[in-house]
């Protein structure tokens, strides 16, 4: 069983090696872009950062001076006006959720491939407009689900699809963190519904177990039911300081999930089948040494996977697929399903009722 866990390539998607780097314009220079995305690209094989875009020109130019290969810093206005379009091939959008659409629409207009952070927008309507803008322009749109390029998660998907645990029955998934210790600002955009979307915990954290379960199961949500609560003053503008929700998938699998922006940092994902189970813990935090467990009947095997940079894997996958002209997954249509599911979670909690998802 140990061989079943360990015998797989770290990059099973890689088919070409001699590819010209994909030049990236990074849009939105918050801590995530500066501390995670830019270093990940610099350490990777298939992309390079050439343009930095911020609300402030000085911030963009300073970041460009500090980044390898970057020569140009633009304001948001300059980007929308089409400045420096000959200096990048694709964009990475990491602005607040409710502002993604405008940058993706401009990128599509310029014929640039798009890697958009999750959740892809703040509402299904805006997410759908984003998908349509890219489809109409014929440009690739990938949603930045870094878990889908994590080797351990990809192996879990393979094992489930191969029937290693029998037929999937249910999923347990959770993610929590202390947001205000990470970013000690009660006025931050993640707690502002006008910028983040309908909530804080499900939109930012609950999307991880939803989407990772979808990927591992190769299934989509059909209905949800949910409970949320907010008691701390800092979460007074959002309904979900903490949330629990159930998901019914179209393959019959059921999921029980939890998320909180005001709890001890923790994450896990377990898929239980008729003959065994496969699990990851910690599951969703970047650069963590995670334990992968496969249990079938009375046999249990554990593998401690080495720490990897999930952002590097994500950017290299994006660059490889765009440059080689291969299909990208997860694409915009895939991401739109999650936005519909997230909206249904909040609708269910507000109505205290099961909510069925409409077909995308």
Residues 44-95: tens digit of each pLDDT: 999 999 999 999 999 999 999 988 889 899 999 999 999 999 999 999 999 9
Q: Which CATH class is domain 2-144?
A: alpha beta
- What's residue 24's pLDDT? 98
pLDDT, average across residues 329-350: 98
The candidate with the shortest Cα–Cα distance to 235, out of 198, 185, 191, 274, is 191
Question: What is the pLDDT, as a whole number, of residue 68?
Answer: 85
* Per-residue pLDDT tens digits for 127-173: 999 999 999 999 999 999 999 999 889 999 999 999 999 999 999 99
**Tokens at 141, concatenated:** 């749109």
pLDDT at 243 over 90: yes
The residues, any chain, with a CB within 8 Å of residue 173's CB and separated by 6 or more, are: 208, 209, 210, 212, 213, 255, 256, 257, 258, 268, 269, 270, 283
The pLDDT of residue 277 is above 60: yes
Q: What is the pLDDT of residues 182-214, one digit of tens each?
A: 999 999 999 999 999 999 999 999 999 999 999
Q: What is the pLDDT of residue 1?
A: 58
Domain 147-309+326-356 has CATH 3.30.360.10: yes
* Residue 8 confidence (pLDDT) above 60: no
- Kindly state the percentage of the chain with pLDDT values over 70: 97
For residue 16, what pLDDT is reported?
83
Q: Give residue 9's pLDDT.
A: 58
Reported in sequence order, the residue ranges of the chain that DSSP labels E, i.e. its strands, are 22-27, 47-54, 72-75, 90-93, 113-116, 141-143, 168-178, 221-229, 242-249, 254-260, 262-273, 276-281, 291-296, 299-304, 355-356
Mode of pairing for the β-strands spanning 276-281 and 262-273? antiparallel
pTM check: above 0.85 = yes
**Residues 107-126, mean pLDDT to the nearest whole number:** 98
Mean pLDDT of the chain: 94
Domain ranges of the chain: 2-144, 147-309+326-356
Q: What is the pLDDT, as a whole number, of residue 318?
A: 98
């Amino acid at each position: 069983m140990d061989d079943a866990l360990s015998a797989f390539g770290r990059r099973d998607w890689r088919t070409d090696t001699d590819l010209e780097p994909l030049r990236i314009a990074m849009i939105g220079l918050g801590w995530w872009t500066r501390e995670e995305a830019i270093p990940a690209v610099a350490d990777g094989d298939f992309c390079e950062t050439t343009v930095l875009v911020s609300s402030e020109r000085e911030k963009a130019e300073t970041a460009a001076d500090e980044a390898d290969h970057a020569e140009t810093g633009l304001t948001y206005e300059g980007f929308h006006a089409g400045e420096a379009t000959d200096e990048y091939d694709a964009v990475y959008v990491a602005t607040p959720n409710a502002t993604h659409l405008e940058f993706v629409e401009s990128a599509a207009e310029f014929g640039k491939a798009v890697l958009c952070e999750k959740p892809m927008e703040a509402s299904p309507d805006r997410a759908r407009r984003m998908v349509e803008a890219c489809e109409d322009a014929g440009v690739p749109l990938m949603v930045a689900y870094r878990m889908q390029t994590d080797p351990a998660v990809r192996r879990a998907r393979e094992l489930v699809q191969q029937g290693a645990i029998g037929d999937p029955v249910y999923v347990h998934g959770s993610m929590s963190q202390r947001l205000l210790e990470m970013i000690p600002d009660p006025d931050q955009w993640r707690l502002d519904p006008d910028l983040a979307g309908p909530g804080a915990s499900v939109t930012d954290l609950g999307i991880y177990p939803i989407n990772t379960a979808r990927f591992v199961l190769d299934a989509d949500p059909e209905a949800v039911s949910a409970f949320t609560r907010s008691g701390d003053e800092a979460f007074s503008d959002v309904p979900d300081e903490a949330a629990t929700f159930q998901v019914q998938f179209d393959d019959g699998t059921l999921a029980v999930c939890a998320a909180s922006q005001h709890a001890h940092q923790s994450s896990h994902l377990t898929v239980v089948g008729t003959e065994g189970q496969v699990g990851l813990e910690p599951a969703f935090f970047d650069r963590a040494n995670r334990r992968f467990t496969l249990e079938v009947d009375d046999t249990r095997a554990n593998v401690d996977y080495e720490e990897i940079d999930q952002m590097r894997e994500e950017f290299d996958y994006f660059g490889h697929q765009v440059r080689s002209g291969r299909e990208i997954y997860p694409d915009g249509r895939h991401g739109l399903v999650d936005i519909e599911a997230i909206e249904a979670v909040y609708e269910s909690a507000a109505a205290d009722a099961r909510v069925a998802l409409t077909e995308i």
